[in-house]
Amino acid sequence: MTDPTSQLSPLQSEFASDADMQELIQMFVDEVPQRMSEFRFAWDRANAAELGRLAHQMKGAAPGYGFTPLGESAKALESALKHAAHDLTAVRREFDSLIQMCSRVAR
């Protein structure tokens, strides 16, 4: 069975060529799998508040590390959650695209 995410183009930091940022970007990238499992954990338990908090943090931090599309995707999930009033099925699309965006993050 092939991993569907492997088909996607990698998402690299906009600061990838900045020598100063290498170590910082590496730490961020290394932690993305953990962030993803936190998102999934909250999703599986239908914990909208926690999902909102995670999305909010990602929205604020990711662009600082040069992953603007990831920040945008988190922002979309955060605002969808605000309008969905705890009905998670209404934000399914935003959640999926954030997870997909996470899986594209690369060095």
Partner 1 sequence: MQPLEQQPVLLLIDDSPMIHRLLTFKLKNEGIEFLSAFSASEGLELAASNRPALILLDLHLPDQNGLTALLSFKNDPRTIDLPVIMLSGDTDPANKVRAFELGAMDYVTKPFDIHELRARIQSAIRVHTLMHMLEKRAQIDGLTGLWNRAHFNERLSTELDQSKRNKTEMSLIICDLDHFKKVNDTFGHPAGDAVLQSFAKVLTTELRSYDVACRYGGEEFAIILPDAGPPASLAICERIRKAIEAKRWPNYPNIRATASFGLTDRGLDSGQTPEAWVAAADKCLYDSKQSGRNRVTTYATSGQAPRLAIAG
> Whole-angstrom Cα distance, residue 11 to residue 56?
20
Cβ 2 to partner 1 shortest distance, Å: 32
> Minimal distance in Å, beta carbon 59 to partner 1?
5
Kindly tell me which of 56 and 104 has the beta carbon lying closer to partner 1.
56
Contact 66, 21 (CB under 8 A): yes
For the CA atoms of 70, 53, 42, 98, the dihedral, rounded to the nearest 10 degrees, stands at -10
Site string for partner 1, 15-34 (x = CB under 8 A): ---------x--xx--x---
